[in-house]
Amino acid sequence: MITWIYEAEDTDPTQIEAFEESITRRYSVLSRPRGLDFRVIRAADLVPSSLDGPVLRYRGEDLLEQRQCFIVEDMAVAPQGVQALRAVYRTIRASGSVLLNRSFDGPDYLERDKLAQLQHASTLDIPTPGTVTVPAGRYARRAIEEVRRTLGDGPYVVKPREMTGGYGVLRVESDQQLAATIDIVAQTGAGYIVQPLIEHHGDMRVFVADGKVVSSLTRRPRPGGYLASVSQGGSIEVNEDHVQVADHCARMAEDLRAEWMCIDWLMTDSGPVLNEWSTAHGGFTMMPEPELGKVADAFFGWIRRQLDAGPPAR
């Protein structure tokens, strides 16, 4: 069993059932022929505990009694939602079940923190965009001088450090817009970063299994848009552009001892620039065949090996 746990409180109540039906259908049709079932559970339905060991209660059942695999979204809009998800994450991590988010070595914040990812990648000589963090609350405007000094006159992109799917990403054209945007994001309680708006002709996601590139998909914004995420109206295509970044991907995977990674690149006229990476969350179900089958074989094959290996010695 693969169980996907997410924060339903971040989803419009009128869309929750449609989301759960869609993700279950898209993943189940790929997992079941490969011997794995798939389900989605809302984080609010779970109660993590410590009772002579980790317990994850779901409607009276301890999900950890039987060893299985979990994907836990550990990002949410509300701080309390974040804490609830991380309690689930850490409970599974302490058990004999498989937490698929933990697909590489290193601290868990490297799974989601864009600033930390880019800092880490830059030490490996990977091309990365300049990135400035917005300080908290009343100190937020201190970022403006640093942005001007290090990133130039703009335009810029302002986005959350720890969210995905194009959520809360703003395009900023002028100094006045930058100041107003920073004033607004400083009130959210979330961490934000500022980057230069990099002109690119595609946002490519590369799927890497056991240190080797399996395939990729390239997402493009809708006409007139600036967000390539499919959830934000972008379109996808499959091509061979991943050969341009195969060496970079292999270097990162080797450094992190990564078993599974999805690495996103901005494809510019002067070469690829790293955008971010993710672990088991990386979507591939919309890919066309035969590439879909290749990635599904690699993804679910990796999961099957995690289950067959048994719990780690403690």
**Phi and psi, residue 42, nearest 5°:** -80, 140
pLDDT, tens digit (0-9, with 9 covering 90-100), for 114-155:
999 999 999 999 999 999 999 998 999 999 999 999 999 989
- Of 110, 27, 107, 11, whose CA–CA distance to 69 is shortest? 27
Picking from 44-58, 65-79, 141-155, which range would have the lowest pLDDT averaged per residue? 65-79
> What is the mean predicted confidence (pLDDT) over 37-62?
96
Residue 165: pLDDT band (50, 70, 90) is confident
This prediction has a pTM of 0.90
Estimate to the nearest angstrom the gap between the alpha carbon of 305 and the chain centroid: 22
- The band of 283, judged by pLDDT with boundaries at 50, 70 and 90, is confident
Query: Looking at the predicted structure, is the pLDDT value of residue 247 above 70?
Result: yes
The pLDDT, as a whole number, for residue 171 is: 94
**For the chain, what is the mean pLDDT?**
91
- Longest distance between any two alpha carbons in the chain, whole Å: 58
Please state the rounded mean pLDDT for residues 30-56.
96
> Which amino acid belongs to residue 259?
E
3-class SS of residue 224: coil
Q: What is the mean pLDDT of residues 5-22?
A: 92
The whole-angstrom distance between residue 70's C-alpha and the CA centroid of its chain comes to 15
Q: What are φ and ψ of residue 203, in 5° steps?
A: -110, 105
Encode burial over 48-87: b for 16+ CB neighbours within 10 A, e otherwise: beeeeebbbbeeeebbbeeebbbbbbbbbbeeebbebbbb
Residue 167 pLDDT > 90: no
Burial grade of 269 (CB within 10 A; 0-12, 13-18, 19 or more)? exposed
Q: What is the pLDDT of residue 168?
A: 84
Q: Is the pLDDT of residue 275 over 70?
A: yes
DSSP state letters, 9-44: GGS-TTTHHHHHHHHHHHHHHHHGGGT--EEEEEGG
Q: Among 69-83, 217-231, 278-292, whose mean pLDDT is lowest?
A: 217-231
Looking at residue 101, what DSSP letter applies?
T
Residue 70 has pLDDT above 70, yes or no: yes
pLDDT score recorded for residue 313: 59
For the record, the structure tokens of 56 come out as: 């994850």
Higher pLDDT, 109 or 228: 109
Interval 232-241: pLDDT, tens: 556 788 999 9
Flag whether pLDDT at 6 surpasses 80. yes
Q: pLDDT-based confidence at 37, cuts 50/70/90?
A: very high
**Residue 314: per-residue pLDDT:** 58
Q: Is 34 in contact with 45 (CB distance < 8 Å)?
A: no
Q: From CA 243, how far away is CA 158, in angstroms rounded?
A: 30
Q: Please work out, in degrees rounded to the nearest 5, the angle formed at the alpha carbon of residue 23 by the alpha carbons of 278 and 205.
A: 30
The answer, yes or no, to whether residue 312 has pLDDT greater than 80, is no
| 265: confidence class by pLDDT, cuts 50, 70, 90 | very high
Confidence of residue 219 (pLDDT cuts 50, 70, 90): confident
| Domains of the chain, each with CATH number or no CATH | 2-99 (3.40.50), 108-127+199-287 (3.30.470.20), 132-196 (3.30.1490.20)
pLDDT higher than 60, residue 225: no
- Residue 5 DSSP one-character state: E
User: pLDDT at position 289, please?
Assistant: 93
In this prediction, residue 227 carries a pLDDT of 57
